[in-house]
Structure 1
Amino acid sequence: MANSGKADNQLNLALDVPEDVRAKTLDLNIGFIPEVKIWELIVKYSGDLSRVASDLGATVVPLQNEYAIITLRQDLIPQLTAYQEIEFIEKPKRLFYSVNQGRSVSCINPLQTSQYNLFGNGVIVAVIDSGIDYAHPDFRNPDGTTRIIELWDQTIEGKPPEGYAIGTLYTREQINEALNAPTQPERLAIVPSVDLSGHGTHVKCLNPKKIKE
């Protein structure tokens, strides 16, 4: 694709290199679904994206502050840049895990001194990470039920949250049903979400409410 002022440099590079070369890189292929030649892109826009979605046959998931996720065919990206509603386009980035000194760099330690005494009571925490081991004791109440309100696994096709097009949303009730299953295979048959790397589980175990308990 000819370099576009609306597309970030990494997206332009990803579209300019051969697909087999791109697949061997660390992050240029992130956001691309090679089987169907489709990209999942992040856009900054103004106005209404319904015309863009209709014209290009794209899937649009609005976010906040006039950002959205657009999923469309690779060959239609040059056309996407031509719409005046589109201000900027970028590809997803690969996230790298880092857990060392997590409490200090997150400024948790000073908040739990006697001056502030903030331990997270009444706070709902959202964690966007590799997943969560929902059967872990840290995420269960004394009666064995889950402390998790909802679990959105974006790697499992099924019923996504309202307004979104990917993943499956598991409710507290479904998680409790899974926790009551007598064996792990039966539990995973109900809620098959797993944290393969363990990073998301580790991060959630560090939340201030749990530290106090």
Structure 2
Amino acid sequence: MNYSAPLAPTGNSIRLFPMMSPGQSPIAIGNNVLGSGGITLIPPACRLSSPTDYNINMGRWVNSGPGSLLPGSSLPAYGSIRPVDLNLECSGQVNGVQFRFEDAGSSPSSNKNISLYDSAGGNKIEGLEIEMRYGGSRVAVDNITKTDTGSKGAIKTNPQDLSFNSQDSATFGARFVQTAPIKKSGAIYTGPVTGKVNMYVTYH
């Protein structure tokens, strides 16, 4: 998973990168001073802790639905939720840390889930996807929907301490969803699958 760092130093200023629409420019805040006295406002920020790439083993999925070996099965069928703990490091307390997810596959799912491909050739798998969850609700993987995970980090008593040493986390979930017979190029498929999602971290 990839992420976008909310703050990046640019010379003597700090640029804030909020959630923006295409074509919009970042908001420069480094020159905002109090009373022209040279006091620069630097808001706290959060970012993903290292490592920033996560590999989640989803386990084995047993084919469900009509024609499967499971009596009385029906579709859609859902797997058990695997926890995905995303570790954060903050430079202070941030009121609202948000996550946005983008399907990084070559043929994104129209269901706003994570599309899957065979591990060997990268061919699209039909009928099986991965659904993301947060707080008991489904998360749309559409590169638009933002999931607010609330306040993260801790208030610091030392205003000179701008380091990212306040640790926190956000726990998401992922599970298999089968919506049709599992196929690759029109033929029944039973091999390993893989999927990829990009993740963006912002705050307000």
Q: TM-score range by the shorter chain?
A: under 0.3
Q: Which has the higher contact order (CA 8 A, sep 6+)?
A: 2
Scaled by the length of structure 1, the TM-score of the pair is: 0.24
Higher helix share: 1
Structure number with the higher strand fraction is 2
Q: Could you state the TM-score of these two structures normalised by the residue count of structure 2? A: 0.24
